[in-house]
Amino acid sequence: MLIGLISDSHDHIPHAEKTARIFKDRKVELVLHAGDYCSPFMIPVFKGVPLKGVFGNNDGDKYLLMKKFQSIGAELMGSFGDITVDERRIALYHGTDVPITEALEQSGNFDVVITGHTHQKKQERISGTLSINPGTAHGFGEEASIALLNTSSLEVEFVDLS
């Protein structure tokens, strides 16, 4: 299965719209967002995208974010998501607390750990677990990126949004 990975969109509507188009064009079957949407007005951009997400440390009105997720048929899982796809167990966490991220990576409980928060792309094997950070979809004047994960091969492709 091809999964779209995104984090740290931080209210950047043009990059979110481009991301949604890429995911639709690439026919991803699931999109995982590691948080920091920031404002609830971001969520409708992802309508029609099979979206699951978690909260980030900069997300504002959590209640309204949950309602917006529901309104587009998406799932907001709170602070942490535990998803199984193609017999791969995936942890989805924003990455705010480094010791929690490291514990997830080193636990041996997950095939893949997806985080955001640092705005830095990452693809690394840690204790047999593939740890991925798609970078920041916002870009903040530098590189804006998302990622694609093939759950069969565990290959990762980073996609530049700039």
Across 71-96, average pLDDT? 97
- The full set of domains in the chain, from first to last, is 2-160 (3.60.21.10)
Across 76-86, average pLDDT? 97
* DSSP helix/strand/coil, 117: coil
Question: What is the structure's pLDDT at 16?
Answer: 97
Question: Any bridge partners for residue 89, and if so which?
Answer: 84
Token pair 């970078």 is found at: 135
Q: Is the pLDDT of residue 122 over 90?
A: yes
Distance CA 116, CA 50 (A): 19
Q: Is the pLDDT of residue 162 over 90?
A: no
pLDDT range class, residue 62, cuts 50, 70, 90: very high
Across 122-142, average pLDDT? 96
- Smallest CA-to-CA distance from 117 within 140, 99, 141, 93 is with 93
